[in-house]
Structure 1
Amino acid sequence: MAATTELPESFAPVLASKRRRPLRSRAYKWFRFLALLLVVLLLLAPLAWMVLASFKTNVDIYDAAKALIFTPTTDNYANVLQRNNYFAFILNSFWVAFASTTLSLLLGVPAAYAMSRFTMQRSALVVLMARIIPGVSLLVPWYYVFSNLQMVGGYGVLILSHMFVALPLIVYIMMSYFDSLPLELEEAAQVDGLSPIGAFLRITLPLSIPGIMTAGILSFIFSWNNFMFALVLSGASTKTLPVAIFDFVSYASIDWGGLMAAATVVTIPIMVIALFTQKYVVSGLTAGATKG
């Protein structure tokens, strides 16, 4: 018969702890799953209610018994997209967001590169001050100045006002990204005969594409969702989507069905952009967290 060996009593706690580890790991996985599920439900519940309400009449929206079971209707979307000409507002929002983001990138990326390479901390602090100042405190001076210049109601004033927030955001994102790029690459390019500007255009700029995409996407989302600047500075022909949604709110009543349909039209493009570009946003934001 084979000899049986008995483990010392000192090994008993170690074996017991190993048996408990799978139980603890399984409990942790369930806890994490339930916590994530709760967070997702809390975040998606308002969006789900908005989409469902966009297919209801105002009477059904106020009826709690028809929260999930109701007869859907597309009249709200017909009212938004056809009778109220929301396609023009969509084009206005897209043009203002695209123009303000493009101009901010053209100005902000070289500025961020200069501040990063020449350690211009005071200039960076001034840019940060523009980010800290509440935009509502500037609306009255802006309206006074731009009205005297006869620019209120045009695209130019909307683009400039959106650049006031987009430009500091781009500068700070790109500063941290340029700080993470090794300076030796540019020095090697200059040894090979490139000028400092040539090294920036041919070496540094292509390597900073993820950061540029991150800054551009975030700036575009801000401009698309902006309501306050467009409410004061836009005109009847340059009205953007967030301002157009406000037309469903009157003094006596609120057209909840039309309001939810218009809100869905505003939200869907941004959600699609966020879903398809999230990996670029995450990579761009995390790339500047480490140096070298």
Structure 2
Amino acid sequence: MTRRKRTARLILGLLTFLVLLAFAFPFVWMLLASFKTQSQIMSTDQLLSFKPTLANYTSVFGEHDFLGYMINSLIVGVGSTAFALLLGLPAAYAIARYHLHRLGLVILVARIIPGITFLIPWFILFSQVKLVDTYTALILSHMLVGLPFIIWIMISFFEALPKEIEEAGLIDGCNRHQVFLRVILPISGPGMITASLLSFIFSWNNFMFSIILSGEKTKPLPVAVFNFMSYAEINWGALMAAACIITLPVLIIALLAQRYVVNGLAAGAVKG
């Protein structure tokens, strides 16, 4: 290896380390703060050297129904992702195969428009039909984010699949619907996993719709974090512990499905 290549690799490694440090520092600070008392968090002298405590996690699960909030978030996340897949996969396949690019553009515009634009109409509509503080309202509102995202990921994925596969299915006697269900979907696993995972993460972290449309029965995790914030004080330790709990399930899922996410994004980015 030449000296120039070694220098270039060293510079690249250094830049990569700096980027990772910038992204990782907030998460490391959050994790450390979750094991500190309020005074330790406020003290700059105890940034790394401190006596850890589990009092914050005890407060989160002992004084609040955090397990119930996790179940609410799970129901809404899985429900919105499942219904978005049910509607989004056929829509993405139709747009990809019949070149309905104008329809795809309309869906993209719906995704670009800020979600707060739909918030008041959603609230008025759900109030009229008595659906505020129900899983139905949260699932439908979260689909507003997940459905366009799934469609746009799967459009590029379906366009990358060779048409010869579908033609072989048609020759064997399948109609278009059977080709989609029996041929296309079974080989679309990486794309579906990628779209599902990202849609679930968006739903899991969604705060704006949840703060308005949820109540005590359906309060999800992002809204429950407000329990640790008051007018006079913010309980930083419990807040950081709650943030770690919110982040952990998504982090585990992302690590386990990392290979499928990479394959899905790569497959959707290359047209063959």
TM-score after normalising by structure 2: 0.98
Considering only aligned residues, what root-mean-square deviation do their CA atoms show, in Å?
Answer: 1.0
Q: Partner of 2:184 in structure 1?
A: 204
Q: Partner of 2:250 in structure 1?
A: 270
SS at match of 1:288: helix
Matches within 5 A, 1:143-222: 143-222=123-202
Q: Partner of 2:3 in structure 1?
A: 23
Q: Partner of 2:16 in structure 1?
A: 36
Aligned partner letter, 1:50: M
Aligned partner letter, 1:186: E
Give the alignment partner of residue 102 of structure 1, picking from 82, 101, 105: 82
Deviations 1:180-226 (A, max 9, x none): 01111111111111111111112111111111111000000000011
Give the alignment partner of residue 255 of structure 1, picking from 235, 238, 258: 235
Structure 1 runs (4+) deviating above 4 angstroms are: none
Aligned partner letter, 1:25: K
Q: Partner of 2:208 in structure 1?
A: 228
Aligned partner letter, 1:267: T
SS at match of 2:36: coil
Unaligned runs of 5+ in 1: 1-20
How far apart are the structure 1 equivalents of 2:98 and 2:6? Answer: 52
How far apart are the structure 2 equivalents of 1:203 and 1:194? Answer: 10
Q: Partner of 2:222 in structure 1?
A: 242
Q: Partner of 1:74 in structure 2?
A: 54
How far apart are the structure 2 equivalents of 1:255 and 1:288? Answer: 44
SS at match of 1:82: helix
Which structure is larger by alpha-carbon Rg, 1 or 2? 1
How far apart are the structure 2 equivalents of 1:290 and 1:55? Answer: 45
How far apart are the structure 1 equivalents of 2:110 and 2:222? Answer: 24
Unaligned runs of 5+ in 2: none
Percent identity of the aligned residues? Answer: 50
Please say if 1:87 is aligned against 2:67.
yes
Deviations 1:18-59 (A, max 9, x none): xxx611111111111111111111111111100110011101
Stretch deviating more after TM superposition (187-196 or 208-217): 187-196
Q: How many residues align?
A: 272
How far apart are the structure 1 equivalents of 2:172 and 2:116? Answer: 50
TM-score after normalising by structure 1: 0.91
SS at match of 2:99: coil
Stretch deviating more after TM superposition (198-207 or 220-229): 198-207
Deviations 1:48-95 (A, max 9, x none): 100110011101111111111111110100010122120000000011
